[in-house]
Each structure stands twice: as structure tokens, then as C-alpha cells.
Amino acid sequence: MDPLRRKTLLSLLALPAGCSIQPLGPVRSEPLPGPAGTPPIRPPALGQSWTYRKFNGYNSALVATEREEIIALEPRIILRRKTEAGLLLAEEHQQPWGQVLREPAWDLVQNYVEAIPLWPQSLAIGSSSAVRTHYRLDNFSYQFWISVQTVVKAWEKIHLPLGEFNALRIERWIGLEHQDITRVSTTRWDHLWLVPEIGRWAVREISGEYQTSGKRGYGREDNFRWELSSWT
């Protein structure tokens, strides 16, 4: 079992009897008119880093604190990821910046045949992109299909313990073929609050659901939120 998922399950078991489990509240934000022109996104550079607090959306528990650092720019941009306790996590790969080739955020690491945009090339409100490609799992040769639709929704001011940020809210809808053959369909949602000046998101939320061919019917996937706590 994945160490972070094990920690999530243990946090649920550790709740005292009768304790009310509180889902994570919505991101504190307010609408903004947005700048006259889209600010440039800070380009990637060796040594840039972002530290996030990762929360379980179902019960508000802090799952981990994760640090991501750019350790290579060519032939791929590689982000080394590890927890505050020093546990190494799966790397994230992009090329170019904003186009992900190796995605570790979900239950299983996905290696894409064609890069998938985390945000569209144009960041004007209403801009969108649609990609259909395939992905492989680590140490697995079969290619699964995946379809991703991305839309730039709005400028928002978000409020975090670290401070306030003017961010672009970007929503991604994902449909995919899952390794679990009992799944008839899998749908995922990925919301990013991209802050151009830091070159990455200040908040990211993922969730999903699936339908099975058995008696269970529908199931829910992990629900996580990452909130920026520092960056360099």
C-alpha cells in the first residue's frame, strides 16, 4: 500500500468514537477582474522549489507536507518530490513547462505518450484545450486511453496561511481507462489555482468517481488538496 494512503487510513481509524468527520471546506477565494494582459509565467530553473501541505478532502486531515524541486531541465524538466520526513515520492516530468509527461498526483503514476497540458497555451479567460492520448503505468507495457479537457475559468484572489495570491482558476475534466478491469468508467476532476509569479499552482484539488461492472455500482477516488506553504 502507498505510504501516504496508509497514513490517510490510519488518520481515519485514529478518530475518537463519536467524532464528527468534517470535509475540507472550499478554497477561500474572491473573484477578480484580472489584469489587462496575462502576466508571464515564471520560467522553470534549476533549484526552484515549492512546498505544499496535502490535505484529505473527505476528513480535513493533514496527510503530508511535500516539497517539489526542479533538478533537471533537459531533455525533460524533472521535479524531485519528497515528504517532510524525507520519503522520496514519484518524480513529475514536464516538457515544455506546463505540459506534463509523468503525472504522480493520482492513485497510480501515469506516463503519457503525448504531453498533456496542465493549463492551455493561452491563459485568457475561456481558453481551452482537449487532448486524447494514451498512458502507461510504471513497469507495465499496456497503454490505456485518456482524454483531458482543460478550461481557464477565472481570476481569483485566494487566501492561504502563507498569504494572498492572485491566481487563475483552471479546471480539468478527465476521462480514462483504468487498470482495474472491473471499472466501466472513470471520471476525474482536477482544479488548479495557477499563480504566474511563482510558476506553479498555489492550490490544487483532485477528486474522482468510477462505475463498476459489479454490485458495488459507484465508487469515489481519493480527494486531496495541496496548499502552498513556501516557495523559492
How does DSSP assign 101-132, residue by residue? EEE-SSSS-EEEEEEEESS-S--STT-EEEEE
Model pLDDT, residue 214: 74
Q: Is a pLDDT exceeding 50 seen at residue 41?
A: yes
Each residue's pLDDT tens digit, 86-137: 999 999 999 999 999 999 999 999 999 999 999 999 999 999 999 999 999 9
Q: Is the peptide bond before 96 cis (omega within 30 degrees of 0)?
A: yes
Neighbours of 47 (CB within 10 A): 8
Give the residues across from 223 on adjacent strands.
none
Terminal-residue alpha carbon distance, the chain: 32
pLDDT band at 73 (very low <50, low <70, confident <90, very high): very high
- C-alpha 92/C-alpha 144 separation (Å) is 19
Q: Is a pLDDT exceeding 70 seen at residue 7?
A: no
Q: Would you state the CATH architecture of domain 44-231?
A: Beta Barrel (2.40)
- DSSP-assigned letter for residue 2: -
Selection from 182, 231, 228, 225 nearest residue 63 by Cα: 225
Least confident of 43-47, 69-73, 204-208, 216-220: 216-220
Cβ contacts of 45 within 8 Å, gap of 6 or more: 70, 73
pLDDT band at 35 (very low <50, low <70, confident <90, very high): confident
Q: Is a pLDDT exceeding 70 seen at residue 15?
A: no
Average pLDDT over residues 179-186: 94
Q: Is a pLDDT exceeding 70 seen at residue 172?
A: yes
Neighbours of 79 (CB within 10 A): 24
Give the residues across from 208 on adjacent strands.
188
Kindly report the pTM of this predicted structure.
0.89
- C-alpha 14/C-alpha 96 separation (Å) is 43
The enclosing H or E element of 13 equals helix 3-13
Q: Which residue has the cell 477516488?
A: 221
Model pLDDT, residue 36: 83
